[in-house]
Amino acid sequence: MSEVYGVRRNRLRERYAATGTAGALVSRPANVRYLAGGAPRGAVLLLGPAEDVLLCPREPTGDTREGRPDERLRLTVLPTASGDPAVAAADLARTAGGASLAVEEHHLTVSRHRAVRSVAPRMRLADLGLAVEQLRVVKDEEEIACLRIAAEITDQALGELLESILVGRTERHLALELERRLIDHGADGPAFPTSVATGPNSGRRGHHPTDRRVEEGDFLSVCVGADYRGYRCEIGRTFVIGTSPAQWQIELYDLVFAAQRAAREALAPGAACRDVDRAARQILDAAGHGEGLAPLTGHGVGLEIDEDPQLAPAAMGKLDACVPVTVEPGVHLPGRGGVRIDDTLVVRQEADGGPELLTITTKELLAL
């Protein structure tokens, strides 16, 4: 696995070298982990000019949530209270004779940027921009393997919850129970705060669990995902509590299901992100739910739960093979509740069987 990181660093090197920059300072944690394999909190990665160095504010703890830094990378643990690792990195680049350094201006604060400049006043500071984020969009098979495991863990945790008694339990307790089960099954943690929404709360994107208890006849919508070795997936399902769903519940569920399927089927290399969004959005719109739809139908996932690409009306760009995305349309009817259905899939060539569904929990409307 280790050489993967060297390959990634070289791909980044080609990008900024082309702009005439001698070195790069990567500070955004997910970007550091992508290029270095792992990093203690606060670590930064200096690429070139002389060598690549991971500067850590403390010893790596071996905590799986930090990942394991690439052994082929020089690792420097800074003395306690020696200040900002980004400044130490800039100083190192200066002593190595670097004339210019590309930094992540979308991550460094104005104050940190000033401190970096002050230790190397003669060094030209350029903007690395989203170069690393762009490299991260298309995943290699090791990354997809981690996402696959994250999805398996998530399906297991959700499946177990569905077998337990739900009526009378609060949204908060169900969310905590799901997170405990994720960890039981080997997750490093939840990929994002688990959302459990009942009754009038159901179907709300990113709903924060409350003390409301599950009641007969409720819609119950759940959005949960595991973090496995840093890779984060997402699944959302909506269920009905009790013996038989009401007519409006069946109709709303079928509608959202149709919209979600349409977007899933639109996933293909070369497909415009906005067209995938439209595939779902126009179905919900035609049914009179155009108002109050979420701004996006889905998004990329990986080392962060919300990455490029975005599946939204104004999104530019096309999908590539090996890009994992969520497809998560939903409708929420104020005061009544609603439905969200959310899967994580990997865009694949038609010849390879089309989109690979990672989150395989059934999407039938289950009455629990």
Question: Which residues of the chain form contacts with its own copies (CB under 8 A)?
Answer: 61, 63, 65, 80-81, 103, 105-111, 113-114, 127, 172-173, 176, 179-180, 183, 207-208, 295, 312, 314
**Nearest residue (CB) to its own copies, 80 versus 243:** 80
Residues 268/354, Cβ–Cβ less than 8 Å = yes
**Nearest residue (CB) to its own copies, 7 versus 314:** 314
Helices 110-119 and 85-95 sit at what angle, rounded to 10 degrees? 30
- How far are the Cα atoms of 56, 58, 73, 108 from residue 82, in angstroms, in the given order? 11, 10, 21, 18
Count of other CB atoms within 10 angstroms of residue 217: 13
**Nearest residue (CB) to its own copies, 80 versus 247:** 80
**Nearest residue (CB) to its own copies, 111 versus 247:** 111
**Nearest residue (CB) to its own copies, 64 versus 76:** 64
- How far are the Cα atoms of 34, 92, 281, 292 from residue 128, in angstroms, in the given order? 15, 18, 35, 36
Rounded Cα–Cα distance for residues 328 and 322 (Å):
19
**Nearest residue (CB) to its own copies, 183 versus 268:** 183
- How far are the Cα atoms of 79, 82, 94, 262 from residue 116, in angstroms, in the given order? 18, 14, 11, 49
Rounded Cα–Cα distance for residues 162 and 160 (Å):
5
Closest distance between its own copies and the C-beta of residue 117, in Å?
A: 11
Closest distance between its own copies and the C-beta of residue 2, in Å?
A: 23
**Nearest residue (CB) to its own copies, 187 versus 345:** 187
Closest distance between its own copies and the C-beta of residue 315, in Å?
A: 10
Beta-ladder partners of 195: 223
Closest distance between its own copies and the C-beta of residue 225, in Å?
A: 17
Rounded Cα–Cα distance for residues 186 and 192 (Å):
16
Closest distance between its own copies and the C-beta of residue 176, in Å?
A: 5
Closest distance between its own copies and the C-beta of residue 135, in Å?
A: 19
Per the structure block, which two tokens stand in for 328? 């998560």
Per the structure block, which two tokens stand in for 357? 């569904």
- How far are the Cα atoms of 32, 324, 357 from residue 145, in angstroms, in the given order? 20, 11, 13
Closest distance between its own copies and the C-beta of residue 354, in Å?
A: 30
